[in-house]
Structure 1
Amino acid sequence: MDSYSSDTGAISNPGTVYQCGPGIGAHEIDAIFDKFYRSKQAVHQGIQGTGLGLALVQQLLNLMGGQITASSNDGETHFEIWLPNEGLKQ
């Protein structure tokens, strides 16, 4: 469900990601948007990847005036995306 913030003119499009691979620990949340960051668990298990995906998403959203946040608990990660919508009418 979308929500609108009249203070910022932004639309929140929350989405939940259910982990099918290694979970993201709460202590790693601040680092997951860093370029080339890969969790210790993913590296230890030999899971391939570059660690660029979330960094690219964050940069693209920043260029559009938006943002992305993440939170994690019980093997589930929740990403929330904010995008400005100049033409939204209430």
Structure 2
Amino acid sequence: MPKRISEIFGVSEDDLKNEGVFNGFIDLDSVFYVDPHLVKNTKIPELENSYIHFKKYFSEILHVLENVKTSEDRFFSTAHKKLIFPELSFVLPLGYSTG
């Protein structure tokens, strides 16, 4: 039976709603997944350095997270803001997948 995001991650539906997260069925609403490693050796000019930018972006977040002491400190807040990726309404929403 398909499970919702709230079930998979063990969070309440209300918490997701308050954060603006769609509580979809994880294997039905998101069968499309983009693997960042696939752009590593791309020859597409628009994506040429995207893997380097991707790694740098998430490395910086990990560095910030190393300094987090509580969910109330500025390091947590900074990392949290960098991990919010709103989906644009005019493009294909990618969502999540367990596979």
TM-score, normalized by length of structure 1? Answer: 0.31
Structure with bigger RCO (C-alpha 8 Å, 6+ apart): 1
Greater Rg, structure 1 or structure 2?
2
TM-score, normalized by length of structure 2? Answer: 0.29
Q: Which has a greater percent of helix?
A: 2
